């Protein structure tokens, strides 16, 4: 039985451990620091948030210190959890690519991938119809990604070969497939609200219509995928 040769690209374990441990510690220190100056801030008539600082300053010791450290650590754990949820792991092998992020596992057969490139901090897999199979945020090392894909024979591109084809989207833009304007309008609202999950789902919906979309500072740009023969 042959063992599949797989190259995994992920954030270094030391970096992951630093985030997992460092954020709770940092949160505890920051909130404890705010507790320490609460009495001083409460005495400043011009300072904002007088109510919360006065309340914190009134809590007796050692409960004020214990509580501030505990609250800070919990907040740090929440931030570390969000970072872990957004962490991308890429598995590359001769027969395909697997992306693991946020508890989701996406697989792409090798025959569907025509090229791979980085668009800023996003990893993009191109399909054979010039559409995009995936566009994922990452904090991985570019050279490690390039080596992983090239070592398995994938075409690694210097940038988006279709970048000049994109046009700025405005509501009512002509030349789009039926229903695409409505999806782009809803997606614009999702981007405004920083609803990444909804924006990603709408990107997939647009992809099924043959529309490739990317954003810059919440402005959307689009192009049409090339129809397959």
| pLDDT level of residue 19 (50, 70, 90 thresholds) | low
Q: Where are the beta strands (DSSP E) in the chain?
A: 6-9, 89-93, 96-101, 104-109, 113-119, 122-127, 132-137, 167-168, 211-216, 219-224
Pairing of strands 211-216, 219-224: antiparallel
What's residue 50's pLDDT? 66
Confidence of residue 22 (pLDDT cuts 50, 70, 90): confident
Question: In degrees, to the nearest 5, what angle opens at C-alpha 10 toward C-alphas 8 and 11?
Answer: 155
pLDDT at 149: 97
pLDDT over 50 (residue 1): no
pLDDT tens digits for 48-105? 766 776 777 677 778 778 788 888 778 877 776 666 667 899 999 999 999 998 778 9
Q: What's the pLDDT tens digit per position in 175-189?
A: 999 999 999 999 999
Q: Which pTM was predicted?
A: 0.76
Contact 140, 99 (CB under 8 A): no
Beta-bridge partner residues of 215: 220
Question: Could you tell me if 169 and 189 are in contact, meaning their C-beta atoms sit under 8 angstroms apart?
Answer: no
pLDDT at 32: 77
């Amino acid at each position: 039985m042959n063992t599949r040769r797989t190259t995994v690209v992920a954030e270094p374990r030391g970096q992951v451990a630093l985030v997992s441990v460092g954020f709770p510690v940092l949160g505890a220190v920051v909130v404890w620091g705010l507790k320490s100056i609460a009495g001083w801030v409460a005495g400043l008539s011009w300072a904002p948030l007088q109510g919360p600082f006065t309340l914190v300053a009134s809590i007796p010791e050692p409960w004020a210190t214990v509580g501030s450290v505990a609250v800070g650590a919990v907040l740090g754990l929440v931030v570390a959890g969000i970072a872990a949820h957004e962490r991308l792991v890429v598995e590359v092998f001769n027969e395909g690519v697997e992306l693991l992020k946020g508890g989701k596992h996406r697989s792409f057969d090798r025959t569907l991938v025509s090229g791979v490139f980085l668009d800023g901090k996003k990893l993009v897999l191109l399909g054979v119809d010039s559409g995009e199979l995936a566009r994922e945020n990452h904090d991985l090392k570019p050279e490690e990604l390039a080596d992983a894909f090239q070592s398995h024979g994938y075409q690694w591109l210097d940038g988006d070969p279709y970048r000049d084809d994109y046009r700025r989207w405005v509501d009512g833009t002509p030349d789009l497939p039926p229903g695409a304007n409505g999806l782009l309008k809803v997606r614009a609202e999702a981007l405004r609200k920083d609803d990444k999950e909804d924006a990603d789902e709408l990107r997939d919906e647009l992809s099924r219509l043959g529309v490739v979309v990317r954003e810059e500072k919440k402005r959307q740009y689009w192009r049409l995928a090339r129809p397959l023969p």
